[in-house]
């Protein structure tokens, strides 16, 4: 679980756009860049090189 206040200030490291939290999968999605970032042990891994492409 990621803190709601933290989610409000997080932005995509590539485009600086909003990120959507997918609680079930523990990921943050940037729809603009069509990528997602994993959350490991409650910590979002927001490095540009850690972005993974959205499938589907």
pTM value surpassing 0.95: no
In Å, how far are 1, 6, 13, 18 from 22, measured between CA atoms? 10, 14, 18, 13
Q: What is the pLDDT of residue 11?
A: 96
All structural domains of the chain with their residue ranges: 4-53
Inter-residue contact 37 to 50 (CB < 8 Å): yes
Classify domain 4-53 at the CATH topology level.
Answer: N-terminal domain of TfIIb (2.20.25)
20-51 pLDDT, tens digit each: 999 999 999 999 999 999 999 989 999 999 99
- Residue 39 corresponds to which tokens in the numbers above? 């959350």
- Residue 5 corresponds to which tokens in the numbers above? 């206040």
Q: What is the pLDDT of residue 36?
A: 98
2-18 pLDDT, tens digit each: 788 888 899 999 999 99
55 vs 51 pLDDT, higher one: 51
CB burial class (10 A; 0-12, 13-18, 19+) of residue 40?
A: exposed
């Amino acid at each position: 679980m990621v803190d709601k206040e933290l989610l409000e200030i997080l932005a995509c490291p590539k485009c600086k756009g909003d990120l959507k939290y997918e609680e079930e999968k523990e990921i943050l999605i940037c729809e603009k860049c069509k990528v997602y970032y994993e959350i490991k042990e409650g910590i979002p891994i927001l490095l540009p090189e850690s972005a993974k492409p959205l499938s589907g």
